[in-house]
Chain A
Amino acid sequence: MKSNRVLLSILGWVIGFIIFFPILWMVMASLKTEIEAVATPPSFFFTPTLENYFVVQSRSDYLNYAWNSIVISVFATLLAILIAVPASYSFAFRPTKRTQFKLVWILSTKMMPPVGVLIPMYLFYKNMGLLDTHLGLILIYTLINLPIVIWVLYTYFKDIPQEILEAAQMECDGLLNIFLYILLPLSKSAIFSTSLLSIVLIWNESFWSLNLTAFEAAPLTTFISSYSSPEGLFWAKLSAASTLAILPIMFLGWVTQKQMVKGLTLGAVK
């Protein structure tokens, strides 16, 4: 029993380390010089330098990208939640014969490779004047994340006993009151953790941001990729840029990890 525990925790640490290793490697590389960063065999002991960070900051405007990432991920998430809550509500509490089909259909849109619609989307964005705008990215990220947000909220709403809502229906007039006094307080943690999930997904998305933005509305993923350019691969600077890019989201994740785990295991453990 006890040796089992020890073994399990060793296994946990090993898996944790494997998952964490790329991040550790990236942070290490960001503190090396370009030559050290590409050296074989890699050096584990070196004199750390912050030079890469200074170069990155002076060459590109980090705050501009970070601000764009924040604006886009927050607003796209808000919009997705705003659309998904009523959608999930009706799927969960007013199901019809076609509800299951619709849910699967909604999810199936996630299975399409984005590159398949790149050209039409690009042309559409170009004609609508949405290229390199916050609005453009907010719209596309809302649509991309909507299926997942709807599904997570749907699964949560399904767990709320129907009778509670029926009792509310007997006692308060109008859907809005039921929503404000019963549904929202009951599902606020679900909505919160779903929002976090959505923000993380948007933060890390790079396909559409690379193709639809240049600088004005470009988020941090674009910022990172500018260091892997035709002029050559600047490994250490790329690492410094990446570290900077994931810093805010890592901080958010660390602060809200309890909520996040709760949200991801919704319905799984009851």
Chain B
Amino acid sequence: MVAVGQVKSARASRAGLSRVTIYRIVALVIIIALWEGAGASGLFFRGVIPSSIFVIAALLRLLGDHVFWGHFGVTLFEIITGFVIGSAFGMLGGLGIGMNRYAGQIFEPVVEYFASTPKVVFLPILLILFGIGVGSKISLGAISCFFPLALSIAAAVRGINQMYLRVGQSLNLTLMQRVKMIYLPALTPAIATGLRLGFGIATVGCLMSEIKLSNKGLGHAAMQAYGRFDIPTMLALLIVIFATAALGNILIGRLIRLPGPTNRRITQLPAR
């Protein structure tokens, strides 16, 4: 019975696969056609929706331009530094409020409500504290990244099978041993989810502060292109930014191999 069901679903997925691919190609064609049509229609100001050929040309030009790679390096440095700092604190905070029930009762609502606030409003304070250089960008990225990690890990810690913890107690494990042998393995999916959400949000934090006030980085370059009304270059920079975020997300997913079939996909939505 089960075997029949499996064969059936396998056959259906094989037959459906080509249809899915067709659907995807159709969607891409429609999106490109809409873009080109809107650009050619004259409904928008001239040059606001440049043909995708110009955008690709601008992208290729950027990739051969050493000034662009300078901006790219600065942004990458900011995102990674902010991400590392924010996730380290986020993991510690999540473990803290997850492992201690009382601490969780006190601080978890605070973390949860802060998680739903727009972090970019803290930027003026960070600008005063760290200046308009990379410091304010890194700190905003780190602050943004803290919350998804802390929340997803705290929730996962509470979800750990109590049996494992009792076994740990019977074996007289020290705190470090418990973290290493019980918490970390049980938390891998939550850490992976948190890290992926955190990376996206750290990217938003760093890029938003670059866009607001900076003299380096991809956000700065995009705003400069906007100022010159060089829309193809601006869009090419946006493509680079989104590709970087997507690549980071995939890399993190690859680095942390997820055990179990249920955890392969991000099911939790970020609160920015």
A, B from the same assembly: no
Residues of A within 8 A of B (CB): none
